[in-house]
Amino acid sequence: MTAIINNGGDLASIDPDLDRLSRRLRLPYLRGAAPEVLATATAQRWAPAETIRALLVEEERGRDHATTSIRRRKARLPTGKTFDVWDPAISSIAPATQSGLRTLEWIDRHENLVICGPSGTGKSMFLEALGHAAIDHNRTVAWFSVEQLGTLVRAHRVDDTINRAITPILRADLIIVDDIGLLPLTVDAAEGLYRLVDAAYEKRAVAISSNLHPSGFEELMPRTIATALVDRLLHHAHVIVTSGDSVRLAQATTGKGVKPFD
């Protein structure tokens, strides 16, 4: 190879052949890092193998970051809240349970997670933080509201392609359905939830948050659907019941829900 850095080590320029090859082989992160890496390699007299390794590490790091960004965007997690802003001390979920779920091993075992309890007790936030953690550890995630599942069923009922519409969702390692029981369920929403849980049974992990314990789902949907749904949902499931006052309401009443004016 000819000189790999032009202009006497100018970081703004690399050898045209290296630039062309990195473009042709689709190594954009290697190309971007090459000026700095090669300058460092020259100054510190790295061995050729060490230089190549450093360049490939930069390509790997860039691809991993891009993949994670794409997975996060496709997951459609609603607020961007992660465990960085989660306070385990104020949650009614037992610390050992929190730690166990954060290992994400239950996802790989295709086990389900049901978090039920009063509004404001951290159900949705904990599930979203788990979703972000799963993405950061190379899993794929899909987030839905139960109303979105109902819309999916209605859109595909006419030509009877509901099962086909569910199939792409099952590509995700973790499927999260939020806020069940907050509002009355339409028949379409109940069917969509059942079809999803049935299709994912023992194949994918499903996590749901609900204001009602699954034993009360008959209040939300026809009994036959509720019975079949709960049977499949709870067979391999971790069921957590949250308790306590609403964290949001507590923050609101103490003035912590907004940033004070100066």
Phi, psi values for residue 70, rounded to 5°? -65, -45
Contacts of 94 (CB under 8 A, 6+ apart): none
pLDDT per residue of the chain (262 residues) written in tens, 0 to 9: 344 444 444 444 678 888 899 999 999 999 999 999 999 999 999 999 999 999 999 999 999 999 999 999 999 999 889 999 999 999 999 999 999 999 999 999 999 999 999 988 999 999 999 999 999 999 999 999 999 999 999 999 888 898 888 999 999 999 999 989 888 899 999 999 999 999 999 999 999 999 999 999 999 999 999 999 999 999 999 999 999 766 555 555 456 666 666 6
Q: ∠ CA(34), CA(38), CA(43), 5° rounding?
A: 155
Answer yes or no: are the C-beta atoms of 43 and 103 closer than 8 Å.
no
β-sheet bridge partners, residue 237: 112
Question: What are the helix (H) ranges across 45-145?
Answer: 48-75, 95-102, 105-108, 123-136
Tell me whether residue 131 is exposed, middle or buried, using C-beta atoms within 10 angstroms of its C-beta: 0 to 12, 13 to 18, 19 or more.
Answer: buried
β-sheet bridge partners, residue 116: 210, 241
> What's the rounded Cα separation, in Å, for the pair 39 and 10?
8
> What's the rounded Cα separation, in Å, for the pair 174 and 176?
6
Instruction: List the structure tokens of 22.
Output: 């990195």
DSSP state of 224: H
Place of tokens 């973790």: 174
Place of tokens 């899909």: 142
pTM across the whole model: 0.82
Q: Mind listing the domains of the chain with CATH numbers?
A: 16-74 (no CATH), 76-253 (3.40.50.300)
Answer yes or no: are the C-beta atoms of 148 and 242 closer than 8 Å.
no
DSSP state of 27: -
Nearest alpha-carbon partner for 222 in 179, 195, 187, 178: 187
Residue 253's SS3 state is: helix
